[in-house]
Copies of this chain bind each other. A is one copy, B any other.
Amino acid sequence: MKPIIIKSLIVAVTLTVLSSSLARAEDPLASWNDGSAKQAIVEFVKATTTQGSPQFVAPETRVATFDQDGTLWVEHPIYSQVMYCLERVPALVKAKPALAKTPPFNTVLQLLHGDRAAMEKLTMKDLEKIAAATLTGMPVDEFNAEVKKWIAEAKDARWKRLYTELTYLPMQEVLRYLRANGFKTYIVTGGGQDFVRMYAEQTYGIPPEQVVGTAGGTKYSYDKNGKPFLTKEPKLLLNDNNAGKPEGIYLMIGRRPVAAFGNSTGDKQMLEYTKAGDGARLAMLVLHDDAEREYAYGPAQGLPNTKVGTFTQALYDEAKKNGWTIISMKNDWKKIFAFEP
């Protein structure tokens, strides 16, 4: 090839690369395939933020709420916070050696030593006992420091990556896109409010005051030098699941969301409450139908059943009936994780 042709080729290739990366930079939802889900988001944002639009929403009332587990990050095979609780047990046992022989803590030790069958032995009551022992009874500063340390180190067994790397890139794009359009983004999670607050700002750009979750009481007291501190009490104030989600939103935000995102029956009432408001509303449910790139579970649409993040056919039917949009991980998401090549 003559140099001039090579040069032209280089210029052409460069221009192509440049223009395609420019196009990508311009698309705030670049990890989404074109389709009804992506379209629903873009149309909702245009309708609610264009001055003069009949569906215009005043900036101060632009509230969008997001479930976390299964909506913003991976929740299978088990919620990350449950892993935290289990992995805190050795420290509990170290502090109180008698626990090594006390159920359910002995079962957790077996599980952590590789006996996977031990997981089956743990009942809901056992898990509640473990949660109470690992999430309450200590000063809030101590708990918060432990969570920060764990979240900076603990890794998921399948991807061998930090849990905070297992957030869904398409949903991160939605968070940023909504914020860029004047929406205040909230997490409304069945998970522990204090737990999620420890990483939500860094992971999702969502500050602690915009994290609503299952919350327990605290108790104000003084140390021996008269310095006040708060202790986490085993007293449930808000069970932020199912009907608890709209109740928690009313308590903590005091405004009805105009957009809400979930993925399971626990989000049903939040989406109903969101849609019951006047004007444009966006309600979306992530369907985990991608066994290859992530997990597949429902049991909606014949997907395998699960106890973690259940998406029933009844929920699917309610969504179709009420104009909620289903997000198919398999079809709507070009890329699931930021670390994918």
Contacts and interface: CB of A to CB of B under 8 A. Distances in A.
Interface string A188-222: 00000110010001000001110100010111100
A250 to B, nearest CB: 5
B276 A250 contact: no
Q: How many copies does the complex hold?
A: 2
A230 interface: yes
Contacts of A219: 243, 247
B250 A230 contact: yes
B220 A269 contact: yes
Contacts of A207: 60
B253 A208 contact: yes
A250 B218 contact: yes
Contacts of A17: none
B269 A228 contact: yes
A254 interface: yes
Interface string A78-121: 00000000000000000000000000000000000000000000
A148 interface: no
Contact of A247 (B220, B247, B251, B272): B220
A252 interface: yes
Interface string A140-156: 10000000000000000
Interface residues of A, number: 35
A161 interface: no
A197 B253 CA distance: 10
A266 interface: no
Contacts of A253: 208-209
Contacts of A273: 220, 228
Nearest to A274: B228
Interface in A213-263: 215, 217-220, 227-230, 237-238, 243, 246-247, 250-255
Contact of A251 (B201, B237, B254, B272): B237
Nearest to A252: B252
A194 B253 CA distance: 11
B227 A276 contact: yes
A220 B237 contact: no
A269 B206 CA distance: 28
Nearest to A238: B237
B209 A254 contact: yes
Contacts of A194: 254
A262 to B, nearest CB: 15
A65 B258 CA distance: 28
Nearest to A247: B218
Contact of A246 (B208, B220, B227): B220
A255 B220 CA distance: 15
The list of the 9 closest CB pairs from A to B, nearest first, reads: A208-B254, A220-B243, A209-B253, A218-B247, A228-B272, A197-B254, A220-B246, A228-B276, A228-B273
5 contacts: A209-B209, A219-B243, A228-B276, A230-B246, A230-B250
Given A209-B209, A217-B247, A228-B272, 18 more contacts: A194-B254, A197-B254, A208-B253, A209-B255, A215-B251, A218-B247, A218-B250, A218-B251, A219-B247, A220-B269, A220-B273, A228-B246, A228-B276, A230-B246, A237-B237, A237-B238, A237-B251, A252-B252
